[in-house]
Amino acid sequence: MTVMTAVTIRTSDGQAFEVEPGEIVLDAAMRQGVDIPYSCRSGTCRTCLSKVLSGRIEHEAEYADDLMIGPAEVAEGFRLLCSSLAYEDAEVEPGW
């Protein structure tokens, strides 16, 4: 699915940032100075693991099988923001 317009992500601690079409969510946060913990930026360390409280954020399909996140967590709404794209405005809660 191609996202044609920027979407807005809000964090549970009150920060907000825009994500351009095709832009990785964590990259967008860093570009705008939003403080989300991260380390590897490749979906292995789980430092950026966050729960999507509303809206739609999905892992990049190409790498989804290599990410350090289990299917049960994905079903509960957790995402690794370093390896995710946003498809609509969303609210996220970093950490687990």
Partner 1 sequence: MTTDTFGNYVEPRHDVEASSGLLKRLYLVEREQMRALAAKHIAIELWSAKNGMPRHWWLASRHADSLRNRVLELRYPRRDVDKDHDRGLSGFLGELAKAETDAEFLLGIYTVLRPALIDAYRAYLTEADPIADAPSIYAIEHILFDEERTQPEGEGFIADLAEADVAAAQPWVDYLGQYLTSIGGIAGDGERADPPLDHPCANRPAYVVPEKCVRPREFHPARVESPGRPPENHREQQVWYAIDHANEVWAAEAPGGFMVQMPHLPWNFYTDVARWSYDEMRHAQLGARRLKAWGFEMGVDYPMVGDPVDAIYEMGGGPLELLALLYYFEKDAPAHRMVTKKEFGAMDDTDTAIDTDYDWADEAIHLKYGFTWLQHIVGADKPDELKALVERAGEMWNTWLAERWDKEEDLYGPYMERIEARIAAAASVP
Residues that bind partner 1 (CB under 8 A): 37-40, 44-47, 68, 70-73, 76, 96
User: What end-to-end distance do the CA atoms of the chain give, in Å?
Assistant: 28
Compare residues 31 and 46 and give the one whose CB is closer to partner 1.
46
User: Smaller CB distance to partner 1: residue 22 or 71?
Assistant: 71
Between 3 and 45, CB nearer to partner 1? 45
* Residue 51 bridge partners (DSSP): 78, 93
96 closest CA partner among 65, 69, 67: 69
**Rounded to the nearest whole angstrom, what is the least distance from the CB of residue 50 to partner 1 in the complex?**
13
Tell me how far, at minimum, the Cβ of 22 lies from partner 1, in Å. Answer: 24
- What's the min distance (Å) between Cβ of 58 and partner 1? 19
Strands (E), the chain: 7-11, 16-19, 49-54, 57-59, 78-80, 84-86, 90-94
